[in-house]
Amino acid sequence: MKIMRITAGAFVALALVLIVITAGCTQSAGTSTSGTAAVPSTSAPNGTVGILETAGVGPMPSLLATGQIDGYIAWQPVVEAGVESNIGQIAVYSKDLPPAGEWSDHPQNVFVVRKDFYAANPDFVNDFSALNIAATQYINTHPQETAAIDAEWLAGGQNFTYGNVSVSSGTVVNNSLPTIEFSNNPSDSWKASTSDFVQALINLGTVKGFVANSTSQDAVLYNFQPYTSATAILASKNVPTPATIQSTVGIGYLNAVDHSALFVAVKNWQYFNDTYGIALKPEDLTKAKPDVADFIVNGQKVATVNLVPANAGPNLMQLAATNSIQLSYVGVPPAISAIDQGTPITIAYPIDNLGSGLVVANGAPAEDWRSFAAWAKARSDAGKPLVIAAPGKGSIQDVMIRSALQSSGITVTEVKV
């Protein structure tokens, strides 16, 4: 079901957002006549595209619906929300972005752990990792149930509403799940693809510290022991009961379908408790989006867990740096950048692959990357460069769109807010 509505409150909120954005954009060349913010033209042979970094993905559908941007690159469910609402069309899914073949099975999110927390609480982390792996198996075997859980968590079972854009959460999540590959296996091919992100970040000048200068990126980035221990726990069906943790444990996540493993584990806690002897039971069972849960192993509560949402991956890594969270589901590039900057975390295993996409306005002459690049050049030549929103500098989507534009000879400028 596709619905477009504007409530009084949403209209005021949207108007304020648009005033801030349009007033705050820095422009050194003329004003766009297409309704989008103008960016400077350059002599780049293949044109110029302006990147507008937003606070997460929430504003994107509204910005596209009101002509403030020409497109956006986002994670699910915001990609499919743009299509379901009839405000946008898919130009290209992330797997088909250039350079050719580089992102065909790209990592999306990983599970990261503060090193000091793992050293002090290995059994807790290993058991929690076993729960993650079991939840991933559940997602892959119960897609309809997962979609219902996601819709409940992300929208309380109601419509997704982005300013004046409102669409069925159930339909959007159902359309989103098949675009994501849920897997926890840190295979050699997965590591090779993660290395592509490292190189892209180095090329963009974002990574230039520990990771960039390391002679062994594997040693700097990874500790797969939680994954190895968790798979052994599930195989043996012998779950060790960790020592009780007196302090509250913080776990970070995004309101994204990519992080379904967390949502499934919490909302279906009784199933995992009965099947595996591990559960993340919400303290308030009536909440659509719980924020506090008990981690229970073999019937014993071992920790109180705060579930901490954020707007984008870099925000989660700031929380990890200050020890506000000890575990996190997060995008690969923010994790790499945080490690590069000295945040004492390690990547324990993957959460999912793929699941991002570039959405452009309905009717735009962009049905794949080649036609998008041609459109970008034509608009740039006409003095009206495209403006594409990305969810925060250093996010997965930001890195991929910048890398794709760079590989196509398109100059990137930044639209400031």
Last residue of one domain, picked from the residues 328, 354, 380: 354
Q: Same domain, yes or no, for 343 and 239?
A: yes
Query: DSSP E strands: which ranges in 227-361?
Result: 249-254, 278-282, 292-297, 300-310, 327-331, 345-354, 356-361
* CA dihedral over 29, 33, 39, 42, signed as positive or negative: negative
Assigned token pair, 198: 């490292």
Q: Same domain, yes or no, for 99 and 118?
A: no
Q: Same domain, yes or no, for 307 and 385?
A: no
Establish if 173 belongs to a structural domain: no
pLDDT of res. 101: 87
β 300-310/292-297 pair status: antiparallel
pLDDT of res. 259: 98
Establish if 177 belongs to a structural domain: no
Domain of residue 250: give its range: 107-158+182-354
Establish if 368 belongs to a structural domain: yes
Last residue of one domain, picked from the residues 314, 330, 354: 354
Q: Same domain, yes or no, for 288 and 371?
A: no
Secondary structure (3-state) at 276: helix
Phi-psi region of 185 (alpha: psi -120 to 50; beta: other; left: phi over 0): beta
Establish if 194 belongs to a structural domain: yes
Q: Same domain, yes or no, for 215 and 144?
A: yes
pTM, two decimals, is: 0.86
Last residue of one domain, picked from the residues 354, 374, 393: 354
Q: Same domain, yes or no, for 348 and 361?
A: no
Establish if 175 belongs to a structural domain: no
On whether the CB atoms of residues 42 and 411 are closer than 8 A, the answer is yes
Domains held by the chain: number: 2
Q: Same domain, yes or no, for 350 and 361?
A: no
pLDDT of res. 18: 33
pLDDT of res. 417: 57
Q: Same domain, yes or no, for 400 and 274?
A: no
Establish if 166 belongs to a structural domain: no
Q: Same domain, yes or no, for 193 and 115?
A: yes
Establish if 37 belongs to a structural domain: yes
Q: Same domain, yes or no, for 275 and 377?
A: no
pLDDT of res. 155: 95
On whether the CB atoms of residues 394 and 333 are closer than 8 A, the answer is yes
Q: Same domain, yes or no, for 80 and 9?
A: yes
Nearest CA among 361, 299, 391, 398 for reference residue 34? 361
How many H-runs (helices) and E-runs (strands) does the chain carry? 17, 17
> One digit per residue, pLDDT tens: the chain, 417 residues?
333 333 334 333 333 333 333 333 333 333 333 344 433 334 467 999 999 999 889 999 999 999 999 999 999 999 999 999 999 999 999 999 999 888 999 999 999 999 999 999 999 999 999 999 999 999 999 999 999 999 999 999 999 998 888 999 999 999 999 999 999 999 999 999 999 899 989 988 989 999 999 989 999 999 999 999 999 999 999 999 999 999 999 999 999 999 999 999 999 999 999 999 999 999 999 999 999 999 999 999 999 999 999 999 999 999 999 999 999 999 999 999 999 999 999 999 999 999 999 999 999 999 999 999 999 999 999 999 999 999 988 889 999 999 999 999 999 999 975
Q: Same domain, yes or no, for 126 and 225?
A: yes
How far is C-alpha 144 from the geometric centre of its chain's CA atoms? 21
Q: Is 155 exposed, middle or buried (0-12, 13-18, 19+ CB in 10 A)?
A: buried
Establish if 292 belongs to a structural domain: yes
